[in-house]
Amino acid sequence: MIELPDVERMIESIAGYTTGKTISAIRIDDPSVVSVKPWIVQDHLEHHAVASVERQGRHVVLRFRSDYSLVFDMGDDGLLRLESQTAPPTERTRIRFQFAAGRELRFSSSGSQGAVEAVAGNEFDENGALESLGVDPLSEDLTVERFEKLASDNARSTVKGFLLNQKAIAGIGNDYADEICFQAGVRPDLRVGSLRPGQIQRLHRYLKRVLRRATLHWSAAHSDPGWLINSRLNGSGCPRCRHELTFLRVTGLKTIICPRCQRAA
């Protein structure tokens, strides 16, 4: 599942090249995923420059100087990558943005995963594709007071369900939800309303800490022996106490906990 740190790394790899450059041609390989009308492509995207590449939750936003934007819903495995125009598209390729220098930006995904939508500038923040997204977890807007209010509004949800609720907090996926709960010492299958104030505050603190580190220092975080995300990949025990990890289904997703470090009470 694509999560906030993955999107940040993706943007970092493409923004330097694409920002400020003009798109010479757009090739839509899968209209079922790319719901962009031909007249928008011709009048507002082709032969217009890219103003910026941004992240909104787990979405990527390609803003054009024409005052139109393309919003990429990354799905579970979406990928934006720069390639040579001479490389043939694959069965995963959904749309290609060609530059005069012979390179192109490609969006790919598997099956029906992902989606691309065009949004006019005056609709972007008001009633566009991102209107239902919650607060960005790395923004200053997610204060502990706002997090406590969101937790109260989602009291009947499981902790993991709350963290995954994109209408409350945008950008967290399965693996990082488990990591946040592990680092905070909270079971992801508990009801939010059953948590003590101190546990809510710990969740807020470690949510910020985990996502910030994974975003700024991805390689270091993903080699840290103290992170659960690495133990879930190699099948080892708890990175703290070495106790055998337990596998649960929470919100229908595979969830990993340490029953010793993440007690119910």
Q: What is the CATH number of the domain that holds 177?
A: 1.10.8.50
Residue 259, class by beta-carbon neighbours within 10 Å (0-12 exposed, 13-18 middle, 19+ buried)?
middle
- pLDDT for 234 equals 66
- pLDDT for 252 equals 94
Q: Tens digit of pLDDT for each residue in 108-119?
A: 998 766 789 999
Instruction: Say if 136 falls within a structural domain.
Output: no
- pLDDT for 129 equals 59
- pLDDT for 122 equals 63
Q: Tens digit of pLDDT for each residue in 153-204?
A: 999 999 999 999 999 999 999 999 999 999 999 999 999 999 999 999 999 9
Do 24 and 57 share a domain, yes or no?
A: yes
CB half-sphere exposure, 208, CA atoms < 13 A: 14
Give the 3-state secondary structure of residue 12.
helix
Supply the DSSP symbol for 263. Answer: -
Percent of the chain, pLDDT > 90? 80
Task: Average the pLDDT over each of 77-81, 230-234, 253-257 and give the range with the smallest value.
Answer: 230-234
Are 7 and 74 in contact by the 8 Å Cβ rule? The answer is yes
Q: pLDDT grade, residue 219 (50/70/90)?
A: confident
Do 193 and 117 share a domain, yes or no?
A: no
Residues 178 and 261: their CA atoms lie apart, in Å, by 13
Q: Tell me the average pLDDT across 241-257.
A: 93
- pLDDT for 125 equals 56
14 lies in which domain range?
A: 4-123
Q: How many domains does the chain have?
A: 2
Q: pLDDT grade, residue 43 (50/70/90)?
A: very high
- pLDDT for 150 equals 98
- pLDDT for 187 equals 97
- pLDDT above 70: residue 78: yes
- pLDDT for 35 equals 87
- pLDDT for 243 equals 92
Do 28 and 100 share a domain, yes or no?
A: yes
Instruction: Say if 180 falls within a structural domain.
Output: yes
Do 154 and 87 share a domain, yes or no?
A: no
Instruction: Say if 263 falls within a structural domain.
Output: no
Q: Tens digit of pLDDT for each residue in 92-148?
A: 999 999 999 899 999 999 876 678 999 987 665 554 557 788 999 999 999 999 999
- pLDDT for 123 equals 65
Instruction: Say if 139 falls within a structural domain.
Output: no
Do 148 and 249 share a domain, yes or no?
A: yes
Q: How many Cβ atoms sit within 10 Å of the Cβ of residue 191? A: 14
Q: What is the largest CA-CA distance in the chain?
A: 61
Q: pLDDT grade, residue 231 (50/70/90)?
A: confident
- pLDDT for 138 equals 94
Are 167 and 133 in contact by the 8 Å Cβ rule? The answer is yes
Supply the DSSP symbol for 101. Answer: T
